[in-house]
Amino acid sequence: MTEEIIIAGFGGQGVLSMGKILAYSGIMQDQEVSWMPSYGPEMRGGTANVTVILSDARISSPYLKVFDSAIILNQQSMDKFEESVKPGGILLYDPNGISHHPTRTDISIYQIEGNKLASEMGNKKIFNMVILGGFLKIKPIVKLDNVLEGLKKSLPERYHHLLPINEEAITKGMNKVFLIKIENGVFV
Amino acid sequence: MSELKLMKGNEALAEAAIRVGADAYFGYPITPQSEVIEYLMAQRPEERTGMVVLQAESEIAAINMVYGAASSGKRVMTSSSSPGISLKLEGISYLAGAELPAVIVNVVRAGPGLGTIQPAQGDYFQSVKGGGHGDYKLYVLAPASVQEMSDFVEDAFAIAYKYRAPVLILSDGLIGQMMEKVILKDQQKRMTDEELIKKYDDWATTGKTDRERNIVTSLDLQPDKMETRVNKLIKKYAQMEREDLRFETLNCEDAEYLFVAYGSSARIAQKAMELGREKGIKVGLLRPITLFPFPKKQLFDLADQVEGILSVELSAGQMVEDVRLAVEHKVPVEHFGRTGGIIHTPEEIIEALEEKIIKNGSVRHHKTRESSIL
Amino acid sequence: MEVLDIIKPENQVFCKTKLMTDTALSYCPGCGHGTAHNLVMEVVEEMGIASDTIGVAPVGCSVLAYDFMNIDMTQAAHGRAPAVATGIARTWPEKYVFTYQGDGDLAAIGTAETIHACNRGENIVIVFVNNGIYGMTGGQMAPTTLSGMKTSTSPYGREIETMGSPLKITELVANLPGVYYATRHAVHTHKHARKAKKALKKAFENTRLKKGLSIVEIVSNCNSGWKMTPNDSNDWMAENMFPYFRLGDIKVNGKLK
């Protein structure tokens, strides 16, 4: 099994750390992992993206043109990466701030209102965990236990009191993600 | 205890420096390698092992601090990225001339000039053709994974002390910034001062005791003495070629075409190879792990088997010159690579193979080594 | 007394330090480097620290200092001696590390290394020989060349408007907290040499006490570069160099004078 994922959004949305938690989770279940971020000036207030690969075999290129899954969290990333999803792949996005919604019909498109759900839970910082929950519902490539273990590993100990709310956010995301149907280029 | 961790290449390299028992690191911040010194500072290595870590006022100062520590026998490392390495070249030439062991790491970014901070492999010439002034070479290791960023630190120190010569780890922004699983080796003890004095008493400037004084210098004003010094270096480089060449081949047994790529490009070319094989193109990959020494003979031999070779590097075409020299025009050798910090995709590489090599059909030149000399 | 009697050990009143080799000095006759070398080595010998002393000699007339000083020495690139010394001193904190640098080396090409080693208060001694000229390369203008002074690159005299003023780098670095001791001396007379030796001893003593950086400037002559006889060059130095580069302590025990 190999899963090639792009996560893209604004710097500060927790894009890189979401990727890191996925990678940690992969390690927890003895997989090979790679985490390749965009870095530099574009991170500072601009767009940030990270390519995460989980595989049972040695990973060749950590840098890819097409992906099995795309998690898209702003309009610039939608413009850049919608076409990068392999036919039959999935695209998960948060509609917040999206004016041009995806239109492809050869992939499965899912929505999750991560921003809204995180606000409702009273902690905007768990936004990326809501999204991750949504993704894992669609693609259960890593077990929840391993995610929580990965989370523990990637969070400094002083933040470990936040583990329960993160778990709650993941569960929330799992429950609230939904498939979108597109016909003739519009939502149904 | 060996440990499994998820780490950035730069961090794995820094951690390895502590674990192999390095005595000192001197550096100066530059993207995309600043994590090396940041990680080291955060780790308090002076408490962990007694290792000295110091942020110098410039790359020039850093390499000269390396020169000083190395001259007194200490295991010492520095790292930088392309523009910073250009500044270090004077010191690197002195290290080579004075026969000092040291490890230098270049996490390459795109150039020339200030360029950009994104990954590139445009420092190949600088690394393997000397770079600094005079007749010297660097033993150059090119890691292609976070694991190798860690492992090659130990390997680099071993070679540096085997030959009493500076060794370069030529990485790039992609390998430095990406995270992968890495197995960290056990902590090794730093050599005590007494052990060090005993071991390197014949050359290191540790203080003159009953022995003759030790002098570390690259200066010989008498031309005949200077030539002797150069000849000694040349002999070392020949020995490196005989004993310490490293490379890796993938799917070369039945290959009709060949990618040659190192570092991050080798990883991407491997994916391109997988894509090619899915399409029925029998392509293999030769990955030089050392760029000097270079796998010349292996390429010369593979050229008898394959129809054409594509050298893939994140540059305008540098290593391709050495591939052509090695292959001696037996088969077409072309270059493909993006520059400016753009990373080529596996798809682009396979397209380039089709366009630059396969499309032209078989144009094998049946040359022998003898005929090619003419 | 016959010559053979004079050289008998029991009649000996003075001898060269064992830390100077028998290699003939390559310096021009009349040059102050030989005396300065000798003083540094005498201090090291008298303190009994030869086996723990490492010298760093960068590019300049004294690049071959290791031919004359019978201790472990490292030759450094032009201007980089304070960085090289930092590398040694940081990894060998119990050793005595000194640099022996000229004015072009310390105050021009190596300014950054000088200032930052001083600012970090590296536990080293800098011996700075200032003769106002690039001697080794044939008498070009140095950062310390006096106003109006003729050199091969200021053939009509140093013009302050276009070439800047002679740099008092010892005063400059004395203002840095990392510098514990900054002093300026000369070695052209016995009296001056004795004072210089005392200063050098104090500097190495500071290293022993881990007080940080000591810089001992020695204003010296360059009779070849200045195109004078040795005696004339010493007179000229006293008349012209000393008023600008004033001899004496600049900073002692961390306090500016």
Question: In a 3-state reduction of DSSP, which class is residue A18?
Answer: helix
B185 by Cβ neighbours in 10 Å (0-12 / 13-18 / 19+) ranks as: middle
Do the chains contact at C72 and B57, CB–CB below 8 Å? no
Do the chains contact at B345 and A63, CB–CB below 8 Å? yes
Residue B87 has pLDDT above 70, yes or no: yes
Long-range Cβ contact pairs of C164-167 (< 8 A, separation 24 or more): C166/C132, C166/C244, C166/C245, C167/C107, C167/C143
C137 by Cβ neighbours in 10 Å (0-12 / 13-18 / 19+) ranks as: middle
| CB-based contact B201:B33 (threshold 8 Å) | no
CA–CA dist B298, B67 (Å, integer): 35
Share of chain A above pLDDT 90, in %: 80
- Structure confidence at residue B100 as a pLDDT band (50, 70, 90): very high
Q: How many CA atoms lie within 13 A of B56 on its CB side?
A: 32
Predicted pLDDT of residue A185: 65
Q: Residue B346 carries which side chain, given as an amino acid letter?
A: P
Question: In a 3-state reduction of DSSP, which class is residue C108?
Answer: helix
Do the chains contact at C74 and B71, CB–CB below 8 Å? yes
Q: Determine the residue among A63, A67, A151, A152 to mutate to test chain B binding: the one whose Cβ has the most chain B Cβ atoms within 10 Å.
A: A63
Question: What's the gap in Å between the CA of A39 and the closest CA on chain B?
Answer: 8
Question: What's the gap in Å between the CA of B56 and the closest CA on chain A?
Answer: 23
Q: Residue B107 carries which side chain, given as an amino acid letter?
A: V
Backbone angles phi, psi at A171, to 5 degrees: -60, -45
Residue B362 has pLDDT above 80, yes or no: no
The verdict on C75 touching B (C-beta cutoff 8 Å) is: yes
The mean pLDDT of chain A is 92
* A156: containing domain: 2-187
Taking residues C245-252, what's their average pLDDT?
98
The mean pLDDT of chain B is 95
Q: What is the CATH number of the domain that holds A132?
A: 3.40.920.10
Predicted pLDDT of residue B61: 98
The verdict on A65 touching B (C-beta cutoff 8 Å) is: yes
Which positions in chain A touch B114 (Cβ < 8 Å)?
none
Counting one residue from A and one from B, how many pairs have CB atoms under 8 Å apart?
A: 75
- pLDDT digits 0-9 by tens, B186-238: 999 999 999 999 999 999 999 999 999 999 999 999 999 999 999 999 999 99
Taking residues B85-105, what's their average pLDDT?
98
- Structure confidence at residue B374 as a pLDDT band (50, 70, 90): very low
Work out how many domains chain C is built from and give that number.
1
Q: Please give the torsion angle defined by the CA atoms of residues C141, C145, C151 and C153, in that order, rounded to the nearest 10 degrees.
A: 30
* CA terminus-to-terminus distance, chain B: 58
For the ranges A33-37, B266-270, C15-19, the lowest mean pLDDT is seen at: C15-19
Question: What's the gap in Å between the CA of B184 and the closest CA on chain A?
Answer: 15
For the ranges A33-47, A95-109, B82-96, C194-208, the lowest mean pLDDT is seen at: A33-47
Do the chains contact at B347 and A65, CB–CB below 8 Å? yes
The B residues from 72 to 131 touching C (CB cutoff 8 Å) are 72, 74, 76, 90-91, 94, 98
Better-predicted residue by pLDDT, C1 or B347: B347
Taking residues B254-262, what's their average pLDDT?
98
Work out how many domains chain A is built from and give that number.
1
In the sheet where B247-250 sits, what is the strand order? B247-250, B283-288, B257-260, B308-312, B333-336
* C84: containing domain: 3-21+28-256
The verdict on B325 touching A (C-beta cutoff 8 Å) is: no
- Structure confidence at residue C5 as a pLDDT band (50, 70, 90): confident
Residue B371 has pLDDT above 60, yes or no: no
The verdict on A24 touching B (C-beta cutoff 8 Å) is: yes
- pLDDT digits 0-9 by tens, A140-171: 999 999 999 888 887 888 989 989 999 999 99
CA–CA dist B257, B269 (Å, integer): 12
Q: Determine the residue among B6, B33, B278 to mutate to test chain A binding: the one whose Cβ has the most chain A Cβ atoms within 10 Å.
A: B6
Name the packing angle between helices A144-154 and A15-28 (round to 10°).
120
The two tokens of residue C126 are 């800098």
| CB-based contact B219:C75 (threshold 8 Å) | yes
- Structure confidence at residue B281 as a pLDDT band (50, 70, 90): very high
The verdict on B181 touching A (C-beta cutoff 8 Å) is: yes
Identify the CA nearest to A48 among candidates A82, A21, A73.
A73
Question: What's the gap in Å between the CA of A87 and the closest CA on chain B?
Answer: 16
For the ranges A156-160, A165-169, C1-5, C222-226, the lowest mean pLDDT is seen at: C1-5
Question: In a 3-state reduction of DSSP, which class is residue B303?
Answer: coil
Residue A50 has pLDDT above 90, yes or no: yes
Handedness of CA B319, B321, B326, B330 (dihedral sign): positive
Task: Tell me the domains of chain B and their CATH numbers.
Answer: 3-198 (3.40.50.970), 247-373 (3.40.50.920)
For the ranges A11-25, A83-97, B20-34, B269-283, the lowest mean pLDDT is seen at: A11-25
Nearest-CB residue to B177 (from A24, A32, A39): A39
The two tokens of residue B218 are 């690259």
Q: What is the CATH number of the domain that holds C210?
A: 3.40.50.970
Do the chains contact at C92 and B193, CB–CB below 8 Å? yes
The DSSP element (H or E) to which A134 belongs, if any, is: helix A127-138
Predicted pLDDT of residue C7: 77
Identify the CA nearest to C128 among candidates C149, C113, C141.
C113
Residue B240 has pLDDT above 50, yes or no: yes
Residue A19 has pLDDT above 50, yes or no: yes
For the ranges B290-294, B369-373, C186-190, the lowest mean pLDDT is seen at: B369-373
Residue C4 has pLDDT above 90, yes or no: no
Can you spell out the DSSP letters for C212-254? -EEEEEEE---HHHHTS-HHHHHHHIIIIIHHHS--EEEEETT
Residue A42 has pLDDT above 60, yes or no: no
Identify the CA nearest to B290 among candidates B152, B173, B193, B162.
B152
- pLDDT digits 0-9 by tens, B283-302: 999 999 999 999 999 999 99
Which positions in chain B touch C56 (Cβ < 8 Å)?
68
Q: Where are the beta strands (DSSP E) in chain C?
A: 53-57, 72-75, 96-102, 125-130, 133-134, 140-141, 179-186, 213-219, 248-252, 255-256
The verdict on C56 touching B (C-beta cutoff 8 Å) is: yes
Q: Determine the residue among B201, B216, B218, B222 to mutate to test chain C binding: the one whose Cβ has the most chain C Cβ atoms within 10 Å.
A: B216
Identify the CA nearest to B69 among candidates B27, B10, B20.
B27
- Structure confidence at residue A187 as a pLDDT band (50, 70, 90): low
The two tokens of residue B97 are 């001339």
The C residues from 13 to 52 touching B (CB cutoff 8 Å) are 50-52
Share of chain A above pLDDT 70, in %: 94
Query: Which chain C residue is nearest to residue B220, measuring alpha carbons?
Result: C64
Residue B93 has pLDDT above 90, yes or no: yes
